[in-house]
Every structure is written in C-alpha cells, then in structure tokens.
Structure 1
C-alpha cells in the first residue's frame, strides 16, 4: 500500500476542530497525507482569514482542506448545536461518498485509507464501513468522559441515571475507581444536554463502535482509571500537544500584542481569564467577574470574544486599569508565559490540557457538559486548582473570585501539584520512544495493513 491517507471529519465547533487539526499535524509529521473536512460555512471563513499561499506554507503539502455543506442557510445561528447537529446528519451523509470519489480520483497512489471522526460525526464511520474504508474515533474530551459515555447503559441498568434524560435517580455519589474520590452524578458529562441530545449520544456511542481505534487526546498517567477500564482507549495526547500551533480553522484572529504585554509584567503576577470558544457567561456573572478583577487590583489578561455584546456589558463601576482585554489569544503560549499566576477557566478539555502543560493553577467555573468532569479532576484528583462557589442566585460573586484567587496563589501545595502535572505532560510530549508515539505509529501501521 502507498502513503496512508486520512480523511479527518470533526464536528464543526472549536473544541473539536482544534484537536483534529493537531492530530492532522501529528499524522503529517509522520509522512501521512490528510484531507481535513470543514463545513462550507467554516471553510469560507478560513479562506477569508488567511491567504492560500500562507496556508500552503504552514500546512505543507501533506494536509489539504475540503468542505461539505452543513445544510443551514448562511444567516442561520450555528450556536444552536442541536439544530446544527440535526442538519448535518440530514445533509452530509448523502454527499460524503461523492467527495471520497473526487479525492481518490486526484491521487491513485494515496487513496483514502481511514476515516477519522470526532463524536457527533459517527455517521461517516457507517459510510466508510459500507465502502470498505477503515474508521477511527478521535475523542476531543478527556478519556474519563469517553469511559463515562461508554458506560451509559451500565449506569441505567445500575439505577444511577434514568433512561430518558440521563439524569441522576439517586443522590449518592459514584466511584469511578477505588483509588479516586467519589464523584457527584450531577457532574456526568451529558447532564446538561437535554433529552434529544442524550438520545443522540446513546446512539452515537453504539455507532462509534464501528471505529477500530478510539484515540484519546489524553495522557495515561493523568487518567489511569479510564484507560484501565477499557483496552479500546489509546492515549495520544503527547504527540498532539507537541504538534504545530498553526490552526487555519480557528474562528478568531489571535491578538498577539498580549504576549508583548505579558513580557512587561512581573513573574507569576497575571490572572488569565478565558472561557473558550463556545461558552458564554450569564450577564450577571460577567458583571461579577469584572468587579472581582477590579477588587483583586492585580494585572489580568481577559479574553472576551467578539459578537457576544448582549452578554458582555461591562458594569459602570468597572475600571480594569491593570488589565488587558483581547478578543482572542494564543492560549498555549499565554499559559506557558512566566508572568501567568493562575487561570480562571470554564474547564474545557483543550484549555485544561493547555493549563496543565503550562503548569498553571486553575480557578474553575464550568458551564456545561464535560467541563464538570474536568473540574472534578482539577480540584479533587490532580489538586491543581479550586472551585468557585455560587451564591443562592447561581452567580459567583466578585468577593468569592477575589478570595479564591488569593487562596490559589498562596497555596504551595497547588503550585507543587501544578508543576508535577506539567512534568508529566512534558515528559509525554518529549519521549520520542514513549508509548504515546508507539500508539500513533501502531495506528498508522494498522491503516497500511
């Protein structure tokens, strides 16, 4: 067989696109060809953002970009994930076989040998199976969240959750492993999804069993219980974090002036605040966060995405004189900067990994889905951060934010655990002969068989 050719089809949100592009870079570094599928809507955004010559120079000839329609009109709201998901499942499956034929027609030597999908795109595995093309799942969240989703039927049979919404039936906590703290079933990753999405997830986990490999953007030593629970899970987090930072599918232009600003700040003095690409704070919470940053009287770097002005109304009292506010930041570089003292985060998995990689203590403000599982690990398992407690109205006060920032900055134990986790992640990135690299090599070798 010729050079392996991977068709990478992520669900079109930033939390899926980023690891999928990292994975594509890791495959290209190993000499493989990759065709990366975006929706037509996102593809146009990519083409507007960067000149094709820049893309070619940075991606190299090993990664090509292609697109399929998502079925929505240009003016439709793609922040409605349920609407987006249902439209994709209705529109894309009939068009994928033709695209595969077109891609294969361009290269007789390197035809598509494997389809790699993230969760929600399992329908492509079914098409690949019918066409005799191998399939793999790239899980964009933690290995623990994958293990939990794969255990849904066990939780239903055990009377832990109901079968309609996946909501907890009992208030008692659950043990993921004898060596781990008890977890509140309210933190299970599907709790905030609703009935339609939960039903989809149950079906999706069955469909994903068509994938012969379940590849996890994770580090074995940080989640040993998840990997011991299933031999199907393969960690490849080291090679992915070590891959290129260039990602043409990022929706917002990075404001790199923040790196120069950080250079002017004292060591471990800056609070970094970011809630990822998808999460939007309630307006009352946004106000309290702004007031909390003022109360701290410390330098802060705050990522406030453009386009959410109806939520992001700064209170009149907000001074923000010691801070810098940007629309988007080169987060991996920011979190490794020596000026960063702590990270106020929504605990999305990409942000969690990058925070661990930077050795930065966390303050956790999870909003939905797997973010609650990640907070559990940050606070209870790895002990690299603290949670923020809500008031009766469900809002975290500015005083609470100030108090917890001071606590996390003053905790030598949290700092020590943060550095220990950083060492674990760094070691996995740098081990050329480590089993993470072997996993990737074995996966590539399998596609050639």
Structure 2
C-alpha cells in the first residue's frame, strides 16, 4: 500500500506527521478520521498513516473519503506473525504477536515514509494502546499525541489502575465496593470495572497493555479523545490534572467536516419514513462480537410478541437463529446484513437502540437523540452501560445481563411505551445539544482541535 497516492514534490509540504494505528477491532477507523480532519486543516502537512495491509485495504478503498486526500499516504507495517503461523481463532494471540514486533517494525516503516516524502517526521500521533510510542518519541525528540478511541470514564480507570487496586485489593478485596474515591464515579461499583483492572486475570496481555498505557500516558505531549468535555465534566477535570494536555476533540461523527453519506442498499431510511416518531427499534451489536444464538432467538421472540417495528443489522444467517416457527415475514421489521447506522439513529422514527455499548455507538446514539437498551460483552462496554444507565439516565441494561424474551419485552415496553422512555429522550436531548455546541466554532471541542493542530504541526524538540 506504500506510495498508493502519487508522490508529491517535497516542497509542497512543510511538516510530516506519522500516525500509527492499532489494526484490531474498531481502533484504526477513528484514528484515520482524526488524521483526515488534521489533513484538511493543514494541507501543507503530509500524514503517513501506518498500520497492517489488511487494515489499510479496508480503510483506503477506492470509494473511501481517505482516497481523496493527497497529503495522507498509507504505509503497511508487518503483522508480526511467524512464518507458517496458523491462527487459533483467539484475537489476543494475534494482538500479542503484533505488539511484540511493533516497535521495531514501525521504526523501519517510518524510515520508508521519510524517504518517500523527503521530510523528517515531526510528530507521532498514535493509538493510545501503543504505550511504547512514548519511548520512540523521546528517542526521536518528537511530540507524542496518543488518541484514546473510547470514553473518558474508561480512560480514567486505566490511568488510575494502581490507585484502584490499592483501594480495592489492598483492603481485603471486598471492603470497598463503590468507586466514589474517583471523581464522577459515585454511582459506579467495583463490579462495573472492565475485566483485568481488579477482577479476572490482571496479567493477561490486554490487561498488562492497558495498565502500562495508563502509567505512560502522563508523559504524552497531549492525549486526544473522541468525546466532548461537557459529557463528563468531573472525569474530564480529573484527567486534565493527570495529563499535560487532555483534548476532547469529538464526537467525530459530528466534528468531521462532511461525513460521507453511506449507501442505503436495503432501503432502511425509506422504510423508516413510513413509521411514527420514536416507534422503531434499531438493533446492532457492532462488528466484533455477537450475542450467542439462544440470546438472539430470545430477542427475536420478544420482537414477535411485542409487535414493535424494527430494523436489525444482523451478521450471519438469521434463518439459523430465529426460533422454530418464527417466519421472518411474520415479524414487523427489516433484517439486513448492513445498515447506515448514523443516518438511522438520526431518523425521527427510531425510538430505541439495542446496542453492545461500544463507545462509537453510544456517541452516535447521543447525536441521534435515541435512548439505549444495553447488552455489553467485554472491555469498556459494561462501564459504558452503567454510565448510560446510572449516570446519564439515557438507557437501561438488559435485566440479568443477558437477552431473554421476558427481559427484552420489559425493556422495549419501558422505553417505547413508558413515561421513563420520554424522560430518557429529554435527557439525551440535553446531551445531544451539548455535543452539537462543543463542535461549533467557539465550542470546547473545536478549541481543543485547534490546539491539537498546533501541537501536531509545530515541531520543536521536546
């Protein structure tokens, strides 16, 4: 993928920024979104976007927005897998190999990018997972700007892991159940924390990575995040006190100059036009994990019994999952293999979003003004759910933590027919308004983004 865009004369550019992307899950997309915004703001700067060929291929397709930017070039970094490697199907194994080889591999590719552009790299913008980039930036005497692609609450948990372990594990394990010693956490409990902080395997590769990241981020020139300050002011203020600079530059789905309108091949938006306001259920569990088949079947039964109209973005073959005797045509909705989520959530007919509680999905739901029913799986998703439910009051967790027919019907009725649903809609309108204000010209996210542009393109030895 290197040299995918035609080489430009080096005189056209005055700065060179290397962006190092984590190629797993949904990490690389948000980093590329940020790079494209920076590239639009600074056309005299060249951005070398470095990740695996697999990730680059999907991000830099011919139809992608990225292909229009002459000052953004994709470079491939090896995936670190040994020759003849046969994957076990466990993603942590692939991540482990990639990370072990990443520092040396990134250094080699950055040299190629410098040779290709004729300009020395002046700044490292990386996924926050790459805690080792701090050492690289120090060696190269460059600013380091990590991007945290999730929410500020989960970031504070990883930045404060040592304190949390001291308070929770240092007192016999069960003595402290709430987290009120952290600003903004009075409504959360130890059980809400991501696995690997105080519960589960504290030495797993991901747990170790996040712990090390939390310890290293304070030396970054600035930490950027896909969020807006007004969403969680207490948490943001605490992070500002821990980092040299903490820049909320989102929500990316609002802040991008012109988010691309995605094709609606299944006619979802036209179908929504025929429905009453706040009456339709939208279901999507993201692109990484799905609930097990018995939960999906239970949810299909809940939809059939309640009769609510729905759009279900379904990965796999629905015929293998739907309960016996449940004919798709008897359901009052659309089951599609892919849906334009942002546009669907902004449609007035959508009344509730059934989600895994990934951070991008939560931001899209806030911007759309749609309350959530949450079925989290791993990582920060449980913490996000408790934020949605207990802190913001804009959604509910599924009863018992797993999808059952009875629990799903209860949650759907609560939000689509109950007064509680109207209250959630009012609360989410306030958050949506704050998000929109943040990205306006004098808004907090716009000011933070201007500060980020200055850091990234003004190279002074650090």
Provide the TM-score with structure 2 as the length reference: 0.84
Q: CA deviation at 1:56?
A: 7.2
Instruction: Quote the residue 1:10 is aligned against.
Output: 21
- Verify: 1:440 aligned to 2:445, yes or no: no
Aligned ranges 1:50-199 → 2 under 5 Å: 50-51=61-62, 54-55=63-64, 59-72=68-81, 77=87, 80-108=90-118, 110-158=119-167, 160-161=168-169, 169-170=174-175, 172-175=177-180, 181-191=186-196, 194=201, 195-196=203-204, 197-199=206-208
Q: CA deviation at 1:379?
A: 0.8
In 2 relative to 1, CA 135–57 (structure 1 residues): closer, same or farther, beyond 3 Å? closer
> Which of 189, 196, 221 is 1:212 aligned to?
221
Instruction: Verify the 8 A CA contact 1:301 1:324 in the aligned structure 2.
Output: yes
SS in 1 for 2:134: helix
Instruction: Verify the 8 A CA contact 2:254 2:436 in the aligned structure 1.
Output: no
> Which of 327, 350, 375 is 1:319 aligned to?
327
Q: CA deviation at 1:401?
A: 0.8
Instruction: Verify the 8 A CA contact 2:369 2:428 in the aligned structure 1.
Output: yes
In 2 relative to 1, CA 292–59 (structure 1 residues): closer, same or farther, beyond 3 Å? farther
Instruction: Verify the 8 A CA contact 1:292 1:398 in the aligned structure 2.
Output: yes
> Which of 356, 378, 397 is 2:388 aligned to?
378
Instruction: Quote the residue 2:249 is aligned against.
Output: 236
In 2 relative to 1, CA 61–359 (structure 1 residues): closer, same or farther, beyond 3 Å? same
Bigger shift: 57-66 or 277-286?
57-66
In 2 relative to 1, CA 78–360 (structure 1 residues): closer, same or farther, beyond 3 Å? farther
Bigger shift: 336-345 or 312-321?
312-321
Write the deviation string for residues 105-131 of structure 1: whole angstroms up to 9, x where unpaired.
2223x5422212223322333223222
Instruction: Verify the 8 A CA contact 1:119 1:138 in the aligned structure 2.
Output: yes
Cα distance in 2 between the residues matched to 1:246 and 1:78: 36
Instruction: Quote the residue 1:24 is aligned against.
Output: 35
Write the deviation string for residues 122-177 of structure 1: whole angstroms up to 9, x where unpaired.
2333223222232111001111111111001111222x1479xxx96446222165
SS in 2 for 1:35: strand
In 2 relative to 1, CA 45–416 (structure 1 residues): closer, same or farther, beyond 3 Å? closer
SS in 2 for 1:328: coil
SS in 2 for 1:237: coil
In 2 relative to 1, CA 330–83 (structure 1 residues): closer, same or farther, beyond 3 Å? same
Q: How many residues align?
A: 430
Instruction: Quote the residue 1:403 is aligned against.
Output: 410
In 2 relative to 1, CA 36–318 (structure 1 residues): closer, same or farther, beyond 3 Å? farther
Q: CA deviation at 1:361?
A: 0.8
Write the deviation string for residues 371-396 of structure 1: whole angstroms up to 9, x where unpaired.
11111111111111122112xxx643
Cα distance in 2 between the residues matched to 1:310 and 1:268: 25
> Which of 252, 258, 265 is 2:268 aligned to?
258
Q: CA deviation at 1:4?
A: 3.8
Cα distance in 2 between the residues matched to 1:272 and 1:56: 26
SS in 1 for 2:399: coil
SS in 2 for 1:368: coil
Provide the TM-score with structure 1 as the length reference: 0.87
Q: CA deviation at 1:348?
A: 0.6
In 2 relative to 1, CA 322–81 (structure 1 residues): closer, same or farther, beyond 3 Å? same
In 2 relative to 1, CA 209–254 (structure 1 residues): closer, same or farther, beyond 3 Å? farther
In 2 relative to 1, CA 382–98 (structure 1 residues): closer, same or farther, beyond 3 Å? same
SS in 2 for 1:95: helix
Instruction: Give unmatched runs, 5+ long, in structure 2.
Output: 1-10
Bigger shift: 329-338 or 10-19?
10-19
Instruction: Verify the 8 A CA contact 2:266 2:336 in the aligned structure 1.
Output: no
In 2 relative to 1, CA 417–19 (structure 1 residues): closer, same or farther, beyond 3 Å? same
Cα distance in 2 between the residues matched to 1:78 and 1:215: 34
Instruction: Quote the residue 1:425 is aligned against.
Output: 435
Root-mean-square deviation (Å):
3.0
Q: CA deviation at 1:274?
A: 0.7
Write the deviation string for residues 295-325 of structure 1: whole angstroms up to 9, x where unpaired.
221211111124xx69962222333431111
In 2 relative to 1, CA 389–398 (structure 1 residues): closer, same or farther, beyond 3 Å? same
